[in-house]
Amino acid sequence: MSRDYPPGTIRTQQVWKRFRADQQRMLLRDRVEQAARRLRGDRGEDWRWALRDINLHIEPGESVGLIGSNGSGKSTLLKMLTRVMYPYAGIIDVRGRIGALIEIRAGIHPDLTGRENIYLFGALLGLKRREVAGRFDDIVEFARLGGAIDRQVKFYSSGMQMRLGFAVAAYLEPHVLLVDEVLAVGDAVFQQRCLDRMREVAEQGTTIVFVSHDLPAVQSICRRGVWLEQGTVRVDAGIKDALAGYRDSIEAQSEASARVGEPLALLKYEVRAGSGEETLHTDEPVTVELTLAGDYRGDATLHLGVSEGTSSPIFQISHEIRLTGGDHRVACVIPRLPLPRGRYTLWTGVYSIGKTDGGTLMSWHSAGQFDVFGPMLDTPPRAVVLAAPVFVPHQWEE
């Protein structure tokens, strides 16, 4: 019937999943009521699609970043890949052992000790006790659990649980490793080690599906990106293309989120090179000029920010202004632009000072994009993620 795919292959064909949209209390008496309604011809069921027509073919050893806004169906898809959840329709075929970290406590039974959990999880993966024992020390060492390994897991902190969950999933040599957005629970150092480990198992040929809102981290791990939007695959492409599309859509959304009825509006903005050149260049002067319009009179704080796509700015600067009603022009000169080559988004917002301190005059929103020409950033070592691109003027000596 189906071809024999090697371990590590993930295939989904026309997968659909729906959930009840109405509140369900799961009680017998509600069901009796429902049955009565159904007899009167009113089905009274309200379903909503969580995933529609998902077709994916992932080869062994591929690393795929699954991105999309909250509620787009990423966790649901991962749960169906681990077979915890069943599709409404379609074919799901995941070959080989699956290691998954879907929730913080993935695969971890709270009443058992860390040690028991490791063996239990190995058994569920189909490993022999001896095989688990061979990896046991690696797991404990990676998770930095030390003596806590013989304590019940319910007494672990959430960070410890996550570390154990990840270590177990990543060290029991699954053919497929599924990681949902849970790494954020760990501290920065541990996150870095997780990413390192994921890269390592990817190089050993493990198929990886990685969900995270930390887009640079996704980019550092994954070659391929699948962007889910409202339960459908919007883009399935190289990771850079998928991320670019996703970032653009986030910007478009925040631009579109209406700011009607606010006291101030951004009439126009300009980002121009201080040198008078056509294009902006790294480490050279730049002027940002804004014109605000509105009747508001009084003191206010103007904020300016620059981001690379996502909504967290790389830097933010602010300035007090006095508005007198009518148009107000303000310019900011940055003598040396600290941004490497790339496309950036300019953000701005204005908030009042004084009686109605902090009142929103113009909410924080992206005004538009600009391109910077100049050197690319140097490539960081394997699995090291840059929080934000910053150009630092420097000189090497030897």
Q: How far is the CB of 210 from ligand ADP (least distance, A)?
A: 13
Other C-beta atoms lying within 10 Å of the C-beta of residue 210: 25
109 binds, among another protein, Mg ion, ligand ADP, none (CB under 5 to 8 A by kind): another protein
Buried residues in 280-300 as b, exposed as e (16+ CB within 10 A): bbbebbbebebebebebebeb
Binding marks (x or -) toward Mg ion, 118..157, rule CB under 5 A? ----------------------------------------
Binding partner of residue 71 among Mg ion, ligand ADP, another protein, none, CB cut-off 5 to 8 Å per kind? ligand ADP
Of the two residues 27 and 39, which places its CB atom closer to another protein in the complex?
Answer: 27
- 293 is a contact residue toward another protein (CB under 8 A): no
Closer residue to ligand ADP, CB minimum distance, 76 or 191? 76
With CB under 5 A as the contact rule, which of the stretches 36-44, 67-75, 137-145, 350-358 interacts with Mg ion?
A: 67-75
Task: Give the span between the Cα atoms of 213 and 309, in whole angstroms.
Answer: 13
Structure tokens at 365: 């929103």
Of 19 and 155, the one with the shorter C-beta distance to ligand ADP is 19
From another protein, Mg ion, ligand ADP, none, which one binds at residue 100 (CB under 5 to 8 Å depending on kind)? another protein
* CA distance linking residue 91 with residue 232, whole number of Å: 16
- Measured CA to CA, the distance from residue 142 to residue 151 in angstroms comes to 17
If the CB atoms of residues 109 and 303 are measured against another protein, the closer one turns out to be: 109
Contacts with another protein by CB under 8 A: the residue count is 65
CB of 289 to another protein, least distance (A): 22
Task: Enter the tokens of residue 216.
Answer: 């640079």
Taking CA 282 as the corner, what is the angle to CA 195 and CA 301, rounded to the nearest 5 degrees? 85
- Joined tokens for residue 143: 């998770």
Closest CA to 50 of 69, 67, 72: 72
Q: Does 75 bind Mg ion (CB under 5 A)?
A: yes
State the binding string over 205-244 for another protein (x if CB under 8 A, else -): ----------------------x-xx-xxxxxx--xxx-x
CA 96 to chain centre: 27
Please say whether the dihedral angle defined by the alpha carbons of residues 371, 375, 381 and 382, taken in this order, is positive or negative.
Answer: positive
Interface residues with Mg ion (CB under 5 A) are: 75
